[in-house]
Amino acid sequence: MSDNKKYEFMDTEYPPGKLLVCPQCREYISYIDIETFPNCPFCNFHLARDPELEDFILQPLVIRWIRQFGNHGF
């Protein structure tokens, strides 16, 4: 893991996208798992919000929005 990065992510083919690797238990966490609750669902490790984690949570929503409205000239 890079010194600049607080979290580690893994790209996946199915489901397409990324998963967060829990810094404590190393389990894979989807953005849905932490969208509302700030802890790892496996070990209850507190995932402190920062820009990197917020991007991870919001990216699928932004992609969905672009697919839905992106070709309408907004």
What does DSSP assign to residue 41?
T
What was the pLDDT predicted at 71? 64
Question: Please, what are the averages of pLDDT over each run of 10 residues along the chain (74 residues)?
Answer: 74 84 96 89 94 89 83 58
* pLDDT score recorded for residue 2: 45
Residue keyed to tokens 């802890």: 39
Residue 39 has a pLDDT of: 95
Residue 70 has phi, psi (to 5 degrees) of: -60, -30
Coil, helix or strand for 10? strand
Per-residue pLDDT at 5: 72
Predicted structure pTM score: 0.74
- Report whether 19 contacts 28 (CB < 8 A): yes
Q: What is the pLDDT of residue 4?
A: 64
pLDDT for the residue numbered 47: 94
